[in-house]
Amino acid sequence: MDISHNQTTEQLDGVYQLRSNNQIKGLQTIIRDRQTNRSDFIFYSDRLIRLVIEEALNYLPFQPKTIITPTGSEYQGLEWTQNICGVSIIRAGESMETGLREICQSVRIGKILIQRDEETSLPKLYYVKLPKDIADRYVLLLDPMLATGGSSKCAIKVLLENGVKEENIIFVNLIATMDGIMTVKKTYPKVRIVTSEIDTRLNEQNFIIPGIGDFGDRYFGNI
């Protein structure tokens, strides 16, 4: 896949951005503001998380299903054709688990811990706990930020090694960069990415600009 920095999400196969509207922009404004207190940051982040997860569910496979309503009438509806699970990239990704559970009752959730190696500056895998039947499920990979894409690629590799099909992975985040999107899609073109907004660039320290700061610290309170 040949991806350029000038491409938009509409031109990238399998990359989906929430349609911008006043609500989305308003939520982004609140959570990005450095003056926003932790309570408000959590509340409005949770709202945005729920919206982006609901959008991601649109890309799961459905099949027709006919049911009978209380009036005795037929309704031509839809149902999911395959079970799902969530996998959060610790620790910021854990902020998205509640939103997923609120939408999908009794959903199974796995966890992957990846940290940057101080000597090599490369992502290093430290911990994996996944549902035993994850290979038979669609996976919503959860991490609020997609910056360089290094940790995301590492997590996707773990999922593939545990039998998950590449096309069954949907990476859900709140803010992405085109650099991160390019990195993931070049290596894993069948993985779909769902985000709420794409930022312009990374700085020399690989922080997203304009960004949001450290999402995990702001959400969990360790600043």
Active site residues: 116, 120, 214, 217
Query: From CA 101, how far away is CA 198, in angstroms rounded?
Result: 25
Query: From CA 155, how far away is CA 139, in angstroms rounded?
Result: 12
**What is the chain's length?**
223
Residue whose tokens read 């309570």: 39
Contact 200/210 with Cβ under 8 angstroms? yes
Residue 125 has φ and ψ, to the nearest 5°, of -80, 130
Contact 209/199 with Cβ under 8 angstroms? yes
Q: Which amino acid is at 105?
A: Q
Q: How far is CA 133 from the centre of its chain?
A: 21
Query: From CA 217, how far away is CA 38, in angstroms rounded?
Result: 10
